[in-house]
Structures are given as C-alpha cells and as structure tokens.
Amino acid sequence: MRKVLIVGATSAIVNATARCFASEGDRLFLVARNSERLEQVADDLRARGAADVHCHVMDANDFAAHAAMIDAAREAMGGLDTVLIGHGTLSDQQACQQSVERTFAEFNTNCLSYLSLLTLLGNHFEQQKHGVIAVISSVAGLRGRQSNYVYGAAKAAVIAFTQGLRNRLAKHGVAVVDVRPGFVDTPMTAHFDKGLLWAKPKQVGARIHKAMVRGEDIVYAPFFWRWIMLIIRLIPEAVFKRLSL
C-alpha cells in the first residue's frame, strides 16, 4: 500500500490521478486551499476504495506552512513514499504584462511553491532512499510564446529544477517524474475552444498514475505532445519570433 501525498487535490488532473491511487486501496493525504471542496474530493476517494484519506487545508503560497504540512502527512500516514504536486493557476498573460506584482504572484504559485516543496521533500526522500516524487509541469515550459510566457517561464524553472533533483536522487533510488500535459479539458481551460488535440483529465490522470507507479522520468500526456514539442523546439528562433503563437 502506497502512502501518497497529493498537493493540489482539487485540480481536475490531480483528482483524476488520485482516483487511480484510491481504486488500488492506497493511503492518501490531500492538500488544497478550499476545505469544502477538499472534503468532497476526499469523500469520493474514500468511496472509490482508498484505505484512508486525510485532508489538509493549505495555500501553496504560504511557504512557511510547507514543512509542517509534510510532517503532518508523514505522521498521518505513518510514512510517505509517493508525492504528486500539481496545484496551479493558468496565468492571465495580458494582465501579467501590465503588472510586476501579478507576474511575481504567478511565479509564487506555479514555480516557487514547487521549488519549496521539492527542496523539503528532496531531503526527506534522499535519506529514505526510496519512493517517487512527481510534479506536473507543462509543455508550455518548453518554449516561451507571446500568448503564455509568464506561465511558461515558471514551468520552465520547475522543469530544470526537477531535472537536477532527479539527477541528484537517482543514485539514492528515488524516482522524480516530470509530467508535461498538453491541452487538457479542465475548469482551468474552460474558456478555450476545444479541438482534436484536447485530452480529458481522466485519460491524463491514468497516464500520470502509470508513470508514477513505474517511476518514469519525463512523460508527455497524451504522448503525441512529445512530437509536437519536438517540432516546436526545432523551429529556428529567427522564424519563431515572427510567429503568432
């Protein structure tokens, strides 16, 4: 039975992944901001078969609360061997361009809170010498585009940080999984028109669960984003800067 810490448990993709752990009878420790919604998620995961489910209300931007949250998770579950970090906000690029505060706020949520959690958890897992840490980054972190570069830059930092952490922890038997979802039809993206490239959270969640169980390194979800992003990264900058992406 896994002892799984889930940060951002009310997000659609994370929730879909949590359902996979629940149906395998794992022990779950859920973290999110909204206590009422967190309880609804917990009820669902209990019904789906989770061995037990603990709720912890925390704003990921409250960095000072991170260490106590991790201690609480270890205490409640009698250990900790699996982590999924997947909270986030889809930044309003236009608004960020007009406001330094807003840009930094997006960085707090989508980048610095990840780095804080990964620093604390990295040390724990390094000593423990087993387990899986997974983060949800984004294909947006692979190349800056005018429509979404504040979010993309935050995720780019998460990607590089995760890569370094994986390099550090590999020799200690700890897997660090970087999940890069493409377009996913969630409440966060409700205002977009959906085309063929859009995936459902259930599908992406199942892929993340599989990657975590296997301890994979870098995962694109769905898979075809690996090839789309390869092409996007191969476009010479002289051309790329003229595109309206």
Taking alpha carbons only, the member of 197, 77, 216 closest to residue 135 is 216
Rounded-to-integer distance, Cα 136 and Cα 181, Å: 7
Rounded-to-integer distance, Cα 70 and Cα 47, Å: 25
Options 76-84, 114-122, 185-193, 236-244: segment touching other proteins (CB under 8 A): 185-193
Q: Does 36 bind other proteins (CB under 8 A)?
A: yes
Q: What is the 3-state secondary structure (H, E, C) of 129-168?
A: CCEEEEEECCHHHHCCCCCCHHHHHHHHHHHHHHHHHHHH
| Buried residues in 62-92 as b, exposed as e (16+ CB within 10 A) | eeebbeebbebbeebbeebbbbbbbbbebbe
Residues 191-230 that bind other proteins (CB under 8 A): 191, 193-194
Instruction: Work out the number of other CB atoms within 10 angstroms of the CB of residue 124.
Output: 16
Among 1, 25, 35, 49, binds other proteins (CB under 8 A): 49
Among 25, 164, 173, 187, binds other proteins (CB under 8 A): 187
Q: Is 151 a catalytic residue?
A: yes
What is the smallest separation between the CB atom of 140 and other proteins, expressed in angstroms? 21
Instruction: Work out the number of other CB atoms within 10 angstroms of the CB of residue 152.
Output: 20
Q: Does 25 bind other proteins (CB under 8 A)?
A: no
What is the smallest separation between the CB atom of 54 and other proteins, expressed in angstroms? 17
Among 48, 54, 210, 226, binds other proteins (CB under 8 A): 48
Cis amide bond preceding 222, omega within 30: yes
What is the smallest separation between the CB atom of 37 and other proteins, expressed in angstroms? 6
Q: Does 37 bind other proteins (CB under 8 A)?
A: yes
What is the smallest separation between the CB atom of 153 and other proteins, expressed in angstroms? 27
Rounded-to-integer distance, Cα 229 and Cα 142, Å: 7
Among 4, 5, 7, 12, binds other proteins (CB under 8 A): 12
* Catalytic center residues: 151
The binding site for other proteins (CB under 8 A) comprises 12, 36-37, 40-41, 43-44, 46-49, 187, 190-191, 193-194
